[in-house]
Amino acid sequence: MEHIHPHEHAIGPQDRILTKGHKPLAVWLSGLSGSGKSTIASVLEKKLLEKGYHTFLLDGDNTRSGLNSDLGFSDDDRKENLRRLSELNRLFVDAGLIVISAFISPFESERKLARSKIGDETFFEVFVDCPLEVCELRDPKGLYRKARKGEIANFTGISSPFERPSTPDVHIRSDKLTPEESADKLVEVIVPRIEL
Protein backbone atom coordinates (compact mmCIF):
# COMPACT_ATOMS: atom_id res chain seq x y z
CA MET A 1 0.00 0.00 0.00
CA GLU A 2 2.97 2.34 0.38
CA HIS A 3 3.13 2.95 -3.40
CA ILE A 4 -0.58 3.76 -3.77
CA HIS A 5 -1.43 7.45 -3.96
CA PRO A 6 -5.15 8.21 -4.48
CA HIS A 7 -5.74 10.71 -7.29
CA GLU A 8 -7.55 13.93 -6.41
CA HIS A 9 -10.32 14.44 -9.00
CA ALA A 10 -11.35 17.82 -10.39
CA ILE A 11 -15.04 16.96 -10.02
CA GLY A 12 -16.22 16.16 -6.51
CA PRO A 13 -19.34 14.87 -4.78
CA GLN A 14 -20.90 18.34 -4.50
CA ASP A 15 -20.62 18.81 -8.28
CA ARG A 16 -22.44 15.53 -8.85
CA ILE A 17 -25.15 16.44 -6.33
CA LEU A 18 -25.81 19.71 -8.16
CA THR A 19 -25.86 17.98 -11.55
CA LYS A 20 -28.25 15.24 -10.44
CA GLY A 21 -30.46 17.49 -8.32
CA HIS A 22 -30.50 15.26 -5.25
CA LYS A 23 -28.20 13.88 -2.57
CA PRO A 24 -26.75 10.38 -2.90
CA LEU A 25 -27.75 7.55 -0.60
CA ALA A 26 -26.92 3.89 -0.06
CA VAL A 27 -30.15 2.06 0.82
CA TRP A 28 -29.02 -1.27 2.27
CA LEU A 29 -31.76 -3.91 2.64
CA SER A 30 -30.81 -6.93 4.75
CA GLY A 31 -32.85 -9.95 5.77
CA LEU A 32 -33.23 -13.67 5.31
CA SER A 33 -33.45 -15.33 1.92
CA GLY A 34 -37.10 -15.16 0.86
CA SER A 35 -37.88 -12.16 3.06
CA GLY A 36 -38.67 -10.01 0.01
CA LYS A 37 -35.55 -7.81 -0.14
CA SER A 38 -35.07 -7.97 -3.90
CA THR A 39 -38.76 -7.56 -4.66
CA ILE A 40 -39.06 -4.52 -2.38
CA ALA A 41 -35.80 -3.10 -3.79
CA SER A 42 -37.14 -3.38 -7.35
CA VAL A 43 -40.41 -1.66 -6.46
CA LEU A 44 -38.52 1.04 -4.55
CA GLU A 45 -36.18 1.70 -7.48
CA LYS A 46 -39.13 2.04 -9.87
CA LYS A 47 -40.87 4.52 -7.55
CA LEU A 48 -37.73 6.64 -7.11
CA LEU A 49 -36.97 6.57 -10.84
CA GLU A 50 -40.51 7.74 -11.60
CA LYS A 51 -39.84 10.72 -9.33
CA GLY A 52 -36.74 11.59 -11.38
CA TYR A 53 -34.05 10.30 -9.00
CA HIS A 54 -30.90 8.63 -10.34
CA THR A 55 -30.76 5.06 -9.01
CA PHE A 56 -28.92 1.78 -9.36
CA LEU A 57 -29.95 -1.59 -7.93
CA LEU A 58 -27.48 -4.18 -6.61
CA ASP A 59 -28.68 -7.67 -5.75
CA GLY A 60 -26.76 -10.38 -3.90
CA ASP A 61 -27.27 -13.09 -6.54
CA ASN A 62 -26.32 -10.74 -9.37
CA THR A 63 -23.09 -9.58 -7.73
CA ARG A 64 -22.22 -13.17 -6.79
CA SER A 65 -22.50 -14.23 -10.43
CA GLY A 66 -20.03 -11.54 -11.50
CA LEU A 67 -17.96 -9.36 -9.17
CA ASN A 68 -17.90 -11.91 -6.35
CA SER A 69 -18.08 -15.15 -8.34
CA ASP A 70 -14.78 -16.27 -6.80
CA LEU A 71 -16.28 -16.37 -3.28
CA GLY A 72 -18.05 -19.19 -1.48
CA PHE A 73 -20.29 -19.07 1.57
CA SER A 74 -17.91 -19.60 4.48
CA ASP A 75 -17.99 -16.89 7.15
CA ASP A 76 -14.73 -15.44 5.77
CA ASP A 77 -16.04 -15.40 2.19
CA ARG A 78 -19.29 -13.76 3.32
CA LYS A 79 -17.29 -11.07 5.09
CA GLU A 80 -15.18 -10.47 1.98
CA ASN A 81 -18.33 -10.40 -0.15
CA LEU A 82 -19.76 -7.62 2.01
CA ARG A 83 -16.45 -5.75 2.18
CA ARG A 84 -16.38 -5.58 -1.63
CA LEU A 85 -20.04 -4.62 -1.80
CA SER A 86 -19.48 -1.87 0.75
CA GLU A 87 -16.71 -0.45 -1.45
CA LEU A 88 -18.96 -0.72 -4.51
CA ASN A 89 -21.74 1.13 -2.66
CA ARG A 90 -19.27 3.84 -1.66
CA LEU A 91 -18.28 4.33 -5.32
CA PHE A 92 -21.93 4.61 -6.40
CA VAL A 93 -22.56 7.14 -3.62
CA ASP A 94 -19.47 9.10 -4.73
CA ALA A 95 -20.97 9.07 -8.25
CA GLY A 96 -24.04 10.80 -6.81
CA LEU A 97 -26.49 7.91 -7.16
CA ILE A 98 -29.08 6.38 -4.90
CA VAL A 99 -27.81 2.81 -4.78
CA ILE A 100 -30.30 0.24 -3.53
CA SER A 101 -28.68 -2.97 -2.28
CA ALA A 102 -30.51 -6.19 -1.46
CA PHE A 103 -28.09 -8.42 0.45
CA ILE A 104 -28.73 -10.98 3.19
CA SER A 105 -25.74 -9.44 5.03
CA PRO A 106 -26.13 -11.70 8.08
CA PHE A 107 -23.46 -10.22 10.36
CA GLU A 108 -23.87 -7.02 12.37
CA SER A 109 -20.12 -6.34 12.20
CA GLU A 110 -20.19 -6.29 8.37
CA ARG A 111 -23.22 -3.99 8.28
CA LYS A 112 -21.37 -1.65 10.66
CA LEU A 113 -18.32 -1.85 8.39
CA ALA A 114 -20.50 -0.92 5.42
CA ARG A 115 -21.87 2.08 7.31
CA SER A 116 -18.34 3.21 8.25
CA LYS A 117 -17.02 2.84 4.68
CA ILE A 118 -20.00 4.47 2.98
CA GLY A 119 -20.48 7.18 5.60
CA ASP A 120 -23.09 7.51 8.31
CA GLU A 121 -24.84 10.40 6.53
CA THR A 122 -25.24 8.42 3.29
CA PHE A 123 -25.90 4.90 4.66
CA PHE A 124 -29.55 3.94 5.16
CA GLU A 125 -30.12 0.50 6.70
CA VAL A 126 -33.41 -1.30 6.13
CA PHE A 127 -34.19 -4.51 7.99
CA VAL A 128 -36.60 -6.59 5.90
CA ASP A 129 -37.93 -8.71 8.73
CA CYS A 130 -39.83 -11.89 7.98
CA PRO A 131 -40.17 -14.96 10.22
CA LEU A 132 -38.05 -17.92 9.13
CA GLU A 133 -41.13 -20.13 8.75
CA VAL A 134 -42.69 -17.65 6.30
CA CYS A 135 -39.45 -17.40 4.32
CA GLU A 136 -39.34 -21.20 4.17
CA LEU A 137 -42.94 -21.34 2.93
CA ARG A 138 -42.12 -18.81 0.22
CA ASP A 139 -38.76 -20.42 -0.67
CA PRO A 140 -38.78 -18.93 -4.20
CA LYS A 141 -35.45 -20.56 -5.16
CA GLY A 142 -35.91 -23.86 -3.32
CA LEU A 143 -32.86 -23.09 -1.17
CA TYR A 144 -34.41 -23.82 2.23
CA ARG A 145 -35.48 -27.29 1.10
CA LYS A 146 -31.93 -28.00 -0.08
CA ALA A 147 -30.45 -26.57 3.15
CA ARG A 148 -32.77 -28.73 5.28
CA LYS A 149 -31.64 -31.79 3.30
CA GLY A 150 -27.99 -30.87 3.93
CA GLU A 151 -27.36 -30.07 0.26
CA ILE A 152 -26.33 -26.47 1.03
CA ALA A 153 -23.83 -25.79 3.82
CA ASN A 154 -23.64 -22.53 5.79
CA PHE A 155 -27.15 -21.45 4.82
CA THR A 156 -28.30 -18.36 6.69
CA GLY A 157 -31.14 -19.07 9.10
CA ILE A 158 -30.57 -22.84 9.01
CA SER A 159 -26.91 -23.76 9.52
CA SER A 160 -25.47 -20.24 9.72
CA PRO A 161 -26.74 -17.41 11.95
CA PHE A 162 -28.52 -14.21 10.97
CA GLU A 163 -27.80 -11.41 13.41
CA ARG A 164 -30.85 -9.14 13.47
CA PRO A 165 -29.97 -5.47 12.91
CA SER A 166 -30.04 -3.73 16.28
CA THR A 167 -30.69 -0.17 15.08
CA PRO A 168 -31.86 -0.11 11.45
CA ASP A 169 -33.05 3.18 9.99
CA VAL A 170 -36.29 1.45 8.97
CA HIS A 171 -37.76 -1.88 10.08
CA ILE A 172 -40.06 -3.47 7.49
CA ARG A 173 -42.26 -6.44 8.42
CA SER A 174 -42.55 -8.03 4.99
CA ASP A 175 -44.94 -10.70 6.26
CA LYS A 176 -47.42 -7.95 7.12
CA LEU A 177 -46.88 -5.46 4.27
CA THR A 178 -47.00 -5.96 0.52
CA PRO A 179 -43.87 -5.04 -1.49
CA GLU A 180 -45.77 -1.96 -2.72
CA GLU A 181 -46.63 -0.86 0.84
CA SER A 182 -43.06 -1.54 1.97
CA ALA A 183 -41.62 0.55 -0.87
CA ASP A 184 -44.09 3.39 -0.15
CA LYS A 185 -42.97 3.40 3.49
CA LEU A 186 -39.34 3.66 2.36
CA VAL A 187 -40.06 6.43 -0.17
CA GLU A 188 -41.68 8.50 2.61
CA VAL A 189 -38.49 8.37 4.67
CA ILE A 190 -35.89 8.44 1.88
CA VAL A 191 -37.15 11.39 -0.18
CA PRO A 192 -36.70 14.01 2.59
CA ARG A 193 -33.12 12.75 3.08
CA ILE A 194 -32.12 13.13 -0.58
CA GLU A 195 -33.85 16.38 -1.47
CA LEU A 196 -31.67 19.48 -1.81
Phi, psi of 183 (to 5 degrees): -65, -40
Amino acid sitting at position 100: I
Q: Which of these is catalytic: 35, 38, 105, 174? A: 105
pLDDT digits (tens, 9 = 90+) for 163-187: 999 999 999 999 999 999 999 999 9
pLDDT confidence band for 5 (50 / 70 / 90): low
Prediction pTM value: 0.91
pLDDT confidence band for 21 (50 / 70 / 90): very high
Asked if residue 196 belongs to a domain, the reply is no
Asked if residue 28 belongs to a domain, the reply is yes
Max distance between CA atoms of the chain, in angstroms, equals 55
Which whole number is the average pLDDT over 83-112?
94
Give the domain extent around 145: 13-187
Asked if residue 1 belongs to a domain, the reply is no
According to DSSP, the β-strands at 123-129 and 25-30 are parallel
Which whole number is the average pLDDT over 17-41?
95
pLDDT confidence band for 112 (50 / 70 / 90): very high
Query: What's the mean pLDDT when you consider all of the chain?
Result: 93
Return d(Cα 35, Cα 130) in angstroms, integer.
5
Confidence check: pLDDT of 7 > 80: no
Q: Of the ranges 15-19, 100-104, 147-151, which one carries the lowest mean pLDDT score?
A: 15-19
Is 105 one of the annotated active-site residues of the chain?
A: yes
| Contact between residue 36 and residue 182 where contact means Cβ atoms under 8 Å apart | yes
Asked if residue 94 belongs to a domain, the reply is yes
Quote the percentage of the chain above a pLDDT of 90.
Answer: 77
pLDDT confidence band for 75 (50 / 70 / 90): confident
* Domains of the chain: total: 1
| Contact between residue 23 and residue 34 where contact means Cβ atoms under 8 Å apart | no
154: left (phi over 0), alpha (psi -120 to 50) or beta: left
Domain harbouring 168, CATH code: 3.40.50.300
Asked if residue 169 belongs to a domain, the reply is yes
Asked if residue 133 belongs to a domain, the reply is yes
Return d(Cα 79, Cα 39) in angstroms, integer.
24
Asked if residue 7 belongs to a domain, the reply is no
Asked if residue 4 belongs to a domain, the reply is no
